[in-house]
Structure formats: structure tokens, C-alpha cells
Structure 1
Amino acid sequence: MVSERIKNLRMSNDMTQTDLAKKLNITRSSVNAWEMGISTPSTTYIIALAQLFHVSTDYLLGLSDNVTLDISHLNEREIQLVYELIQYFRTKK
């Protein structure tokens, strides 16, 4: 589960394994091992990954499927547009 989440988050952020490794100051082979399920990131890296991708550690660990979106940098109008989009997609189901 952790391996899939890391890979999906990395790819959805248009990052290569090398890009992610550089951001975390580790080797690309470490990232590859995480994504292959050969090893698991330490607590320190779980926290760093959560902060980097703006998700909870629970999400990374597979304890929650809730994905969060940081909108603190948006102005009031932009926040309203985000809420309207969410409502639109909820009614499309």
C-alpha cells in the first residue's frame, strides 16, 4: 500500500524517482526500493513525503483514503471556486 501511494503521488506530481530522491536527499535506488515494496521508508521519510505531497501520514500508510488539499494560499474567490467544483463533481456521480 505504501509503495503504491508513493509511486502514484510521485507520478501525479510529474516527478521522476531521481527528482524525488533529490528532494529527500537520498538515492534514487532508495525511492525505487520503496516503490517496489522491497523496503519501507522510515518515520522521518514518511513525514517528509506527507509534507512534500501535502497528504496525511495516514493516507501514505494506507490507514485512510481521504486526500486533503491545502487551500490556505488561495483567496476567498478561489476557495469558493474550489468548493463549487467539488459540488459539481459530487453531483455527477
Structure 2
Amino acid sequence: MIADRIKDLRIQHNLTQAELAKKLNITRSSVNAWEMGISTPSTAYLIELAQLFHVSTDYLLGLSATSTLDISSLNEEEINIVYSLIEYFRSKK
């Protein structure tokens, strides 16, 4: 589960394994091992990944199916636009 979440988030953020590794100051093979399920990130890297991708560690670990979106830096008008978009997409299901 965590392997898929890391890979999906990396792709959603248009990062290569090498680019993600550079941001975390680790090797590309470490990222590859995480994505292949050969190894798992340490607690420290889980926290870094969660902060980098703006998701919870519970989401990364598969304990929560809900990802979050940090809107704290948006103004009220921008927040309303985001909520409108969410409602629009929900109505299309």
C-alpha cells in the first residue's frame, strides 16, 4: 500500500525518482526500493514525504483513504473557488 501511495504521489507531482531522491537527500535506488515494496521509509522519511506531498502520514501508510489539501495559505475567495470545484467534481460522479 505505501509503495503505491509514494509512487502515485510522486507521479502526481511530476517528479522522477531521482528528483524525489534529491529533495529527500537520499539515493534514487532508495526511492525505487520504496516504490517496489522492497523496503519502507523510516519514520523520519514518512514525515518528510507527508510534508512534501501535503498528505497525512496515515494516508501514506494506508490507514486513511482520504488525502488532505492544505488551504491555509489561500485567501477566502480562493478557498471558495476550491470548495466550488470540489462540489462540481462530486456532482459529476
Q: TM-score, normalised by structure 1?
A: 0.97
**What is the match of residue 19 of structure 1?**
19
For residues 3-61 of structure 1, give each alpha carbon's deviation from its aligned partner in whole angstroms, at most 9, with x where no partner exists: 00000000000000000000000000000000000000010100110000000000000
Q: TM-score, normalised by structure 2?
A: 0.97
For residues 61-91 of structure 1, give each alpha carbon's deviation from its aligned partner in whole angstroms, at most 9, with x where no partner exists: 0000101001111111110011111111122
3-state SS, counterpart of residue 34 of structure 1 = helix
3-state SS, counterpart of residue 85 of structure 1 = helix
Corresponding letter in the other structure for 1:72: S
3-state SS, counterpart of residue 73 of structure 2 = coil
Structure 2 alignment gaps of length 5 or more? none
**What is the match of residue 66 of structure 2?**
66
Count of paired positions: 93
Identical positions, percent: 74
RMSD: 0.6
